[in-house]
Amino acid sequence: MTSSTVSSGLGMMAATPLAGAGSSKKGTSDTWFEALADAWGQTLDGEAGKIQQMSDVIGNGTDNPSQITQLTAESLRMSFMSQSSQSSIDSVGKALETMARKS
């Protein structure tokens, strides 16, 4: 097996449709790369929801130091997760681009 055969196979794998996937339904992905991005998006949406709920509690006058500290910690977690999602999607995208050039 030559390296061009391997890289060509990897490129095809990146663009391979997922079993049962279809773009007609909201939240479904056609490829595993889209599924990766969708998973990160859903995870970040969930984290944003937690932060929103905590902000609402504090905004309603329950602003004791422990709750503010918890909100700060969740915000920092969201920042870390957001940076991680950007980094992982960027890395995979660059790898797919490299594979496409070598095919």
Return the pLDDT at 7: 43
Half-sphere exposure of 65 (CA within 13 A, CB side): 0
The angle subtended at Cα 43 by Cα 21 and Cα 90, nearest 5°, is: 75
Say whether pLDDT at 85 is over 70: yes
**69 or 29: which carries more pLDDT confidence?**
69
Give mean pLDDT, residues 68-91: 95
Return the pLDDT at 68: 92
